Amino acid sequence: MKQSGKEKVIAVKKNNGIKAALDKYTTSIVLSALFIFSALYFYLFGTHIFFYQENFSMFIFSSDYLHQFSVKPGGLLEYAGNFLTQGYFNTLYGSLVLAIVFTVLAITFLNINKKISTGKTFALPFAVLPSSLFLIMQTNFNWRMLFNLGFLLVALFFLFSISSDKKSRQLLVLLLLPLFYYLVGAFAWLYLAMIVVYQLYNRKIIFPVFLLSVALISFLAFKELIFLQPYKDLIRYPLPLQESTSNPLYIYIILGFIICYPVIQRISSKIRINEENTHTLSRYGVVVIFSLTFFVQSRQYDPKVVDLFRLEKLFYQQDWIGVIKLQEKIQSQNIVAQYYYNIALSEKNILCDRMFFSRQDFGTQSIMIPWSAGTNINKIFRGAYFFYTIGLINEAHRWAYESMVVQGFQPENTKLLIKTELINGHYEMAERYINIFRNTFHYRSWVSKYGAMLHHPDLISADPELGAKIKLQPKTDFPIRIKNPQANINLILNANPENRVAFEYKLGWYMLEKNVNGIIDEIKKMKAMGYTRLPRHIEEAAVFANANIGTLTDLGGMKVDSATIERFSQYESTMMLIQKSTSTGNPDIKNSIRYTFWYYLDWK
């Protein structure tokens, strides 16, 4: 029986309704998968990213902090990024925030596709592709939240620009362009390139000309009349630069892809494929994109970097035992990891007992990171901890202050500034830094302890950490030798001979230089300094000297443990076997032999 025309129309509408429902269902599934995948990945594998970025900047709830961002185009975008980043101390929070941003980005591009496409071919895969690219970029700990927000706002403003062809909408876009430029800075140039390329592809010239004219006028007005910023900042800030990725080519590829995205999507939508194949290709396309994203992320995941940040997190928490255990487990070959390890040993007063339980690949540089004009400021700031540990509080303060000047207030440099000002009795300056922490979300609880110490030197002296540092300080002033760190150890020992921390650093320095005679000369002082036994590695140096140099070590009334002499005998036997073997046999050496000063002398 033939259907009437009315019945055919009803059937077509019903069929279209089913297809629309299926498309909507598929889209919801894909977007949900993107959200879950993003959240899970960064929750499981992104802890180090959140730790680094939360410590990279510190969001302060104050008008002064807002002002420093509001006086330049793009500053408020960075302000918003820092606001979101301040919660990165919680991995779940960070994972959810990133997942939301990447999902909203995909939704925005999906709506762009609906506006510019003549069909639905590949609309869904193209919508998730930008989010997948930024998921990959986010595996780099230097890829900041402000970059994700910048690309998202560019996509939203582009969507707003093409959502209507009415003259009133175009006029509104022209009026909003200067404001958009102020909010996102150089990301406005990305939007401008994106919209101009799309308009020219559609053979529309007048609107792009007006857009470029308004952009030029805004640029000149911002440069000469309003913000007086350098040309470089107006053109580039805050676009992702070379330090945001290990390969700058990735940045240029992404920028080029975003600029050409509307045209690429428009061209792809003109490809005619039957409807059933379209849905199949779309689904498989999404699967391929997700698979490639995960593959690239897994390739970029570096366990050594993750371990370094785990170590640094424990260090910032002053979990010295945690630092020691982790480094002895992973045996990192990174200079910063070995430097943190030595600091942790010193803070636990076991530097000369366990120094060689970890790798020592950088000689004396793993004790004191040298100051150099070409050294990264992050690395330079880390050098402050050496001075703080041995009691050179003024020098530690100077390095922390230099970090604050160059990088702005960060949690760690501000913590060190607070501690050093309190130790020196500079309560007004300490209170200034304390008030900064009081205006943060995460650190206000940390700083309450130190706020109570203001104008109370008795509380400072009674504090286990600050009181101990006061006792280590030199009793007379002397100039710091930046290019000769070892001299600073000798100078502070001359100014405070009771400083056992500096004394052990001197011994550690000698060990790393393989200066056995220097170690022997210091042993005779140890009993007078309160030592009741020789530290493990110092015993090893004494035994080595007696056996190999022929020096009768003056132990100053102290004795070498018989177990150390027995271990040395075992070590020599092991070395003789290795030398006779055609293979070095290093991997088979027992830890009791490897973790010794003797091994360092022979094999490093």
567, 561 in Cβ contact below 8 A?
Answer: no
- Omega prior to 238 cis, within 30 of 0: yes
Q: What is the pLDDT of residues 540-577, one digit of tens each?
A: 999 999 888 766 566 878 889 989 999 999 888 888 87
- Per residue, the 3-state secondary structure of 459-493, as one string, reads HHHHCHHHHHHHHHCCCCCCCCCCCCHHHHHHHHH
Q: Tell me which of 77-81, 123-127, 239-243, 445-449 is least confident.
A: 239-243
**39 Rama class: left (phi>0) / alpha (psi -120 to 50) / beta:** alpha
For residue 346, the model assigns a pLDDT of: 97
pTM value > 0.85:
yes
User: What does the pLDDT average to over 496-502?
Assistant: 96
Q: What is the pLDDT of residues 396-408, one digit of tens each?
A: 999 999 999 988 9
- Tokens of residue 319, six digits: 């979990």
pLDDT over threshold 50, residue 12: no
SS3 of residue 517 by DSSP: helix
The 10 Å Cβ neighbour count of residue 98 is: 26
pLDDT over threshold 80, residue 6: no
pLDDT over threshold 80, residue 592: no
Burial label, 469 (beta-carbon count in 10 A; 0-12, 13-18, 19+) = buried
363 Cβ contact partners less than 8 Å away, ≥ 6 residues apart: 512, 513
Q: What is the pLDDT of residues 196-230, one digit of tens each?
A: 999 999 989 999 999 999 999 999 999 888 888 88
pLDDT over threshold 80, residue 245: no
pLDDT band at 486 (very low <50, low <70, confident <90, very high): confident
For residue 308, the model assigns a pLDDT of: 96
- Tokens of residue 260, six digits: 């050409």
Q: What is the pLDDT of residues 142-168, one digit of tens each?
A: 999 999 999 999 999 999 999 988 999
324, 338 in Cβ contact below 8 A?
Answer: no
- Whole-number Å distance between alpha carbons of 112 and 84: 26
410, 403 in Cβ contact below 8 A?
Answer: yes
What does the CA dihedral 85, 326, 509, 514 come to, rounded to 10 degrees?
-140
Q: What is the pLDDT of residues 281-307, one digit of tens each?
A: 888 889 999 999 999 999 999 999 999
- Tokens of residue 246, six digits: 């290990």
- Please spell the DSSP secondary structure of 284-343, one letter per residue: HHHHHHHHHHHHHHHHH--HHHHHHHHHHHHHHTT-HHHHHHHHHHH----HHHHHHHHH
Nearest to 183 by CA among 238, 255, 109: 238
Q: What is the pLDDT of residues 445-468, one digit of tens each?
A: 999 999 999 999 999 999 999 999
For residue 120, the model assigns a pLDDT of: 59
298 Cβ contact partners less than 8 Å away, ≥ 6 residues apart: none
- Mean of per-residue pLDDT scores for the chain: 89
pLDDT over threshold 90, residue 376: no
- Whole-number Å distance between alpha carbons of 431 and 455: 10
Burial label, 530 (beta-carbon count in 10 A; 0-12, 13-18, 19+) = exposed
**Domain boundary assignment for the chain:** 13-300, 308-528, 529-604
324, 345 in Cβ contact below 8 A?
Answer: yes
pLDDT over threshold 60, residue 41: yes
* Residue 209 CA neighbour count, 13 Å, CB half: 4
User: What does the pLDDT average to over 426-439?
Assistant: 97
CA angle 247, 248, 252 (to 5 degrees): 130
